[in-house]
């Protein structure tokens, strides 16, 4: 194992009372693109996703389906969640389940340590609870309709809870948290999310009930086994239990923790921001552990103006889209069309338009034109290395801009800069008209220079777009013969992309199937 600190990124662990929809896929694809980008920067990377399997909602859903909670979550994880991530080409390094012994044992050990150090005490909880959110609600969080208090996210009535529980002294960490966000503004992004967290903290924070006594589907509290750990207190710990929290530093788990912790980025939806930017860092502070470097809360995908939700029948399965557009177009569209951090509406029409103009016409057509012309005019072999100063300069600026944007989680900005370079290359081909040059043998040298510069530009585009569209870029890479002459596309470094002239003369170009075929409008 390398001694270098890995770039450690997590998605939320998703609640498994149903199959994933495109809102879940949006977060996971974003995490995959960012970690693939960091890998192509030559960094050590650890990418974690997983499932949150305890709590009242899972128990009730399992009961309705007349199976045990464990059978219910096992079935969903194996038949719905893991296959979805595989089909979307998600390259996660680990998948954590909160029912795994490695998680439950480390949660109990962590909880006992907080109790021993005085951060946990016995108390009584009375108040509103949303089973859908698995969240204790503040009265001010609720909306009212027809005389009932409703959860604003699920639009369903809350339940009143009255239990003797164990409490975490969350209020003790208000000042340390405020200082943390003042000193480290990047620790909670975007700025609107940080402002929300600071405002919440400044409004006063109550201690948190961290156990439940009225049902048993959860991790037993180690010193009071009649109670189970509150599902959020259990779930948040996954980010640390998955990499060896509490293990002996000399053990493999302890070494992994040293290499990965603290997390560089926790990706979350904005509806779970308070858990991740208030409760989670307070838990870590109480344990004397480093807090995450960044919690990034992205916006919601909206359907008909509302957050996507299975309970409201607005949850769209990823396969509904990938079956029509393909996996790479799915990955591209959501990060290209919506500024990461803001809400965005999914539109079939907008996706169709971008697919045709940006992927099929700008990118796919450039690749197919180039391979066809090299085959026709150069016997399928890349001609001698040539250089166009304008393209070389544009590529250098593109790589710099794209790298800065992607590392700042500005996926739209990063992809836009790459696609602007793609347009630039298309313009270069149009201006130089290689099909006209080919009509006169006296122009052969100029023709070969145009084709080399176009091929070399595609070499760069393949590497830059590989984190976003790995399946397509792998095909393009092989089509250029670069896998034979330059090695795997995944080993090409972002920092080296702009060095002009890397695609060797003599590489054998092969025509492939169209990268982005014409859409079937009859569907």
End-to-end CA distance of the chain: 49
Rounded Cα distance between 239 and 292, Å, is 10
The catalytic position among 21, 57, 276, 298 is 21
Q: Which of 154, 156, 293, 324 is catalytic?
A: 154
Both structure tokens of 37: 């980008």
Residue 97 class from Cβ within 10 Å (0-12 exposed, 13-18 middle, 19+ buried)?
buried
Are 120 and 210 a contacting pair, CB within 8 Å?
A: yes
Say if CB 470 and CB 328 are below 8 A apart.
yes
Q: Quick check: is 307 catalytic?
A: yes
Q: How many alpha carbons lie under 13 Å from residue 421 in its C-beta half-sphere?
A: 31
Question: Residue 473 and residue 74: Cα distance in Å, rounded?
Answer: 34
> Catalytic site residue 422?
no
Please confirm, yes or no, whether 473 is among the known catalytic residues.
no
From the list 130, 188, 378, 473, the catalytic residue is 130
Among this protein's residues, is 151 annotated catalytic?
A: yes
Among 38, 307, 401, 473, the active-site one is 307
501 phi-psi bin (left φ>0, alpha ψ -120 to 50, beta other): left
Which of 38, 57, 119, 133 is flagged as catalytic?
133
The residues, ordered by sequence, that sit 6+ positions from 281 with a Cβ below 8 Å of its Cβ are 173, 177, 180, 291, 292
φ, ψ of residue 35 to 5 degrees: the values are -70, -35
Q: Is 310 a catalytic residue?
A: yes
Tokens representing 95 are 């998948």
CB burial class (10 A; 0-12, 13-18, 19+) of residue 481? buried
154 is catalytic: yes
Catalytically active residues, by annotation: 21, 24, 130, 133, 151, 154, 307, 310
């Amino acid at each position: 194992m390398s001694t270098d600190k890995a770039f450690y990124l997590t998605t939320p662990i998703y609640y498994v009372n149903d199959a994933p929809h495109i809102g879940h896929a949006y977060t996971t694809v974003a995490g995959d693109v960012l970690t693939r980008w960091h890998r192509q920067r030559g960094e050590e990377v650890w990418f974690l996703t997983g499932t949150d399997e305890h709590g009242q909602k899972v128990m009730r859903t399992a009961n309705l389906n007349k199976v045990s909670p464990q059978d219910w979550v096992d079935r969903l994880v194996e038949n719905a969640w893991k296959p979805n991530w595989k089909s979307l080409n998600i390259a996660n390094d680990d998948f954590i389940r909160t029912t795994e012994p490695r998680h439950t044992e480390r949660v109990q050990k962590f909880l006992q340590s907080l109790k021993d150090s005085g951060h946990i005490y016995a108390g009584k909880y009375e108040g509103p609870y949303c089973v859908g959110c698995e969240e204790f609600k503040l009265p001010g969080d609720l909306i009212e309709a027809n005389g009932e208090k409703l959860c604003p996210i699920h639009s369903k009535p809350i339940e009143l809870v009255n239990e003797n529980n164990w409490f975490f002294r969350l209020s003790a960490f208000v000042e340390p948290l405020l200082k943390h966000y003042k000193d480290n503004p990047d620790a909670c992004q975007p700025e609107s999310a940080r402002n929300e967290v600071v405002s919440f903290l400044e409004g006063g924070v109550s201690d948190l009930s961290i156990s439940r006594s009225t049902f048993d589907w959860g991790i037993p509290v180690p010193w009071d086994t009649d109670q189970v750990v509150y599902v959020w207190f259990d779930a948040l710990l996954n980010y640390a239990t998955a990499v060896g929290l509490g293990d002996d530093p000399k053990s493999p788990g302890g070494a992994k923790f040293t290499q990965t912790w603290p997390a560089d980025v926790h990706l979350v939806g904005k509806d779970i921001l308070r858990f991740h930017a208030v409760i989670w860092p307070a838990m870590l502070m109480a344990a004397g552990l480093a807090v995450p470097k960044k919690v990034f809360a992205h916006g919601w995908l909206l359907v008909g103006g509302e957050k996507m939700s299975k309970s409201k029948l607005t949850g769209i399965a990823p396969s509904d889209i990938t079956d029509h557009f393909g996996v790479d177009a799915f990955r591209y569209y959501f990060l290209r069309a919506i500024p990461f951090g803001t809400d965005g509406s999914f539109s079939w029409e907008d996706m169709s338009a971008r697919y045709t103009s940006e992927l099929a016409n700008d990118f796919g057509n450039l690749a197919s034109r180039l391979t066809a012309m090299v085959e026709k005019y150069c016997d399928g072999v890349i001609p001698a290395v040539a250089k166009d100063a304008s393209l070389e300069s544009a590529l250098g600026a593109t790589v710099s801009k794209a790298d800065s944007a992607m590392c700042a989680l500005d996926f739209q900005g990063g992809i836009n800069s790459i696609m602007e370079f793609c347009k630039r290359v298309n313009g270069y081909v149009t201006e130089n008209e290689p099909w006209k040059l080919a009509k006169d043998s006296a122009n052969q040298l100029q023709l070969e220079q145009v084709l080399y510069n176009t091929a070399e530009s595609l070499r760069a585009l393949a590497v830059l777009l590989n984190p976003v569209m790995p399946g397509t870029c792998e095909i393009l890479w092989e089509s250029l013969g670069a896998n034979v002459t330059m090695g795997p596309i995944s080993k090409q470094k972002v920092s080296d992309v702009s060095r002009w002239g890397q695609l060797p003369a003599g590489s054998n170009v092969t025509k492939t199937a169209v990268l982005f075929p014409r859409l079937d409008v009859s569907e």
